[in-house]
Structure 1
Amino acid sequence: MQAPESLSPSPAQITVRAALEMPALARGAPEVVAGDRSLDRPIRWVHIGENPEIAAWLEGGELLLTSGLRLDPQPLKLSRFVDELADRGLAALVLELGPKFEQVPPAMVEAAERSGLPVVALHEVIRFMTVTESIHSEIIDRQLSLLRRGDEVHKRFSRLLLDGAGVAEILVALAEIVGNPVVLERRGRGIMYQATGKVEESRVTAAWRAHQRQAGCVESLAQPVLTGGDQPWGNLIMFPLSRPLSSFDEVAAERAAGLISLTLAQYHHEDLLAARGTGNMLRSIMEGRLDDVQAENAARALGFVARGDRLLPVVAARTEFRAGARTDESWQWADVSAKLSSELAGGGIQVLAGVSDSNDALLLVLDLATKRADVADAVAKVIRGMVARRGQGEAVVCVAGSARSWTEVRDGLLSAIRAVPAAIATPERAWYDASLPTVDGLLSALDGNPEAADFVRGRLKGLMEHDLTRHPKLLGTLEAYFANGMSKTETARALHLERQSLYHRLARIEELIGEKLDGEETLFGVQLALRIHRLMNDREQRSGADQRSDAAM
């Protein structure tokens, strides 16, 4: 999503430097005699005054025009006059030279230099009212322009929500519009989501951590996020890591914070937002964009602090899993993620739980303070129970080996994801051990490989064609034969057949495959072809079920 040119940030207030270049003031031949390093101060308003006590009526940010007619020329009083103006936050003092002062008194110049207050001498007589009208018109025009652009941003965010987007999409759009990263933090819990734009995630996390340690000392722009409670829900924070902050950034952040507050309060997006934010962090680890130190800092920013020295990577997916395919919106792993974290916390198990953008799997990293098998059992029980209670089919849980670094966590998550198809194809179990290489895991990697399909057809073509039109199904008979250790007695019992009937089936199988079931190479080849065929058949059945589900929707 590209930010249109109409939304590109620009200052809303006119500066002292810009005002001096405007024709109404430039006609007075202005000369900066002090405070030239502060000419980029914004002007909030313009005042004309001759009262020596005028500082008491100023609120800060004004440009004061005066001829100095009522000023006491004594150096101490002139110095005090300048000091009082500087204390009130005056943007600049413009002194018209004439009958009272032929030049700016040295006492005023010295006091202004000490405080950094810009002092401008006018060498030509001009109409102060013309200057006032000109600058005020420019200030109002810029403020109106800023408000119009703020309305454009608000409409853009609203359209995102109407199109089905959530808080995460608003944050991403905001970061792109202002050209700086933004962070949404939850009060007392840390980062919920960060939209980094083109800035490295580790830099954004570091800026947020520094902001937490030294509030007010790290340049940032923060807007509170309110959801109706006594205390703010959290804060939307913008960091100037790509470009300086501007008045437009403040308006854009305010509009975004308002809609985020409404969305969190009315639509309960907090769980989804937290799961997606954590998912983004875990994917950054998996893609090698965070080293061990950066990953540890990111995890701490999300509120995860491991008690032990080992972590456990886990991936959960439904049996309808298709890597990278966006799943039914009614099924939210985010809901499982939130309840899982709550239930495991009750058992003293800390967890980082996140979902992918496509919502096809739940990514987990657990604090392995006890035995791996015990933690895996607890996680699998909670996840499988939640999925079953929601009537959303079945889930598989793939548990990687324990990890002693975030680099090993990355490897574990990747191996667990690769193991999902094999876990789906194997007999039901509480959880699938992705730390050990398995035959089904190896064969799953061949899924979709044309050479593997050719191998299956070459070995089993006769049986496959037979089973399409005739009974009994001989592929099932052959699988049962191998599953029972090639014992004819046990196979007949398992299939509820007379032994003589089994003998006839086995003879017909040998006839159709063109080989005797007795040679080592033949037995290995046929069993391998059967395993690959089963994996391919399971995938086709899942794909067909998904297509029927999509059509029904």
Structure 2
Amino acid sequence: MPIKLDEVLNHATLTAADPVIRAGAAAVAGTQLRWVHSSEVLDIAPLLSGGELLLTGGDALVTASDARRVEYVRQLAERGVGALVVETGQRLASLPSSMVRAAEEAGLPLIEFRKVVPFVGIMQAINSMLVSESVTHLRRADEASHEMAVELAHGSSLDQILAVLAGIIGATLELRSVSGVTLGSAGPEGAGPGGAGSPPEDAGSRPEDAGHGSVSEHQPGTEGHGTDGALINIDVPVRGVPSARLIINVPADGDVNLARVAGGRCVDILSLALLQRMPPGLKEVAGTALLRAVSSGSQPWRLQQLSPAAGIPAAATMVAVVVRTSTSQQLRAAMDKILKRTAQQSASYVDNAELLALAALPFDGAAAARTELVSALQELPVEPGTMTAVGPLAAGIEDAPWSLSEAKIALDLASSGTLTAAVPPSDTDGVVLDVENLAVERLAAQHLGQGPRQDFVRRQLGPVLDHDARRNSRLLQTLSIWLDSGCNTAQAARELHVERQSMHHRLQRIFELCGGDPRGSGRLAALHLATRLAAL
């Protein structure tokens, strides 16, 4: 039997917290839970799959703006999270009214814990109940996948393949293309396709309605809350490109978790079925061939030949992007959305653990468009450890291999730890490198050996390095930030979180060690270069 939210709220581990439902009360009775999770991270939504009971102590909410709190609730609701629990008390006195309003509007159950309880105890107790249910769901999902594969092997239609899944999960299914065309549909036993309980005509019919979920991880895009059942949307890719959406309409008395698990488990079968009916177009094939040629450094004539077929003008100003992650295939859909928004034409390609992309930018304002692309990539939901590099602007397709190569060099330096001091820490799980900001480091890594680099740094900064080693001071960091700020003492003091007077004292000591104030002299550039090389 599905485990419902109202049942869990009556469990002894939760009643000890004196819970009160502050919003979304109408959805509590019908909300089925898949897992209990605890996190203080406000950007957690992209990492969730839907159906979670999310516990938070509210530490991050205390310092967040009202707009960020509302966005937090909105993102969780869009992701299909079962309910949000916020513990109030010493840190967070009460639930912000903005969050309560946002949760009520989104239909997301928002629960306040008025007493402190150990979250680990709740998670252990409730998740142990959910595990046995999950095993049953996985077994039935595997049965559905196997039976659908048999239908596919026998050449059955999409309606017949979907009917297998519909019968097992007791829900109405519809498979739609990204343009909203119905490709196939099926209902549970006794209900024909398009009958009672069918998805509404506008549900998931537009490409822009797609959720955050990756396509090959089989995570749901959007999922509705309510007492009349639930809608689960799952993207279905063909060759890594979102090509259709499976819409599952689970009735009010149905098992939402089974539908979610089985639907995700069967995406590969549906992808194969679509592949038989939707062969890749010339543009997609040419785009893949073009990026493979760019990556391998093919002759310019070959790039000139492939570029028009891929829809990318050979003379366009373009930029290469490289993403290194264990989920490169899953990120491709999100990357394509960003490219569509920021570039005039683009192509993407997954090469093992690397996601490669090429974006053609407007001839007028290419630099601004590149800056917008870098900013957009910083918002990309990624797994921990993901590293992204945006190459320099390339003047035409012949320079595209150089842009891609420079991006890969920057990633190599960063992954080896070489750029630790040169790359600012990120607040997210991933790092986005703007290669244009690392020109000195790339030049030194490619054309200066370690010995000459160390000699140059020692000659320019020897006394400063010795002072830091003896006194455990941070004069080198101070000098580096001051130089990077354009010798703006006030700005450097803010970045270092020190008083301006302390900053002046540090600079005076640095000038004494370096032979005087370098401003207005030829030594300024040498010192700046030395601080950048020291980071290597």
Is TM-score (shorter-chain normalized) higher than 0.5? no
Q: Computing the radius of gyration over CA atoms, which structure comes out larger, 1 or 2?
A: 1
Higher strand share: 2
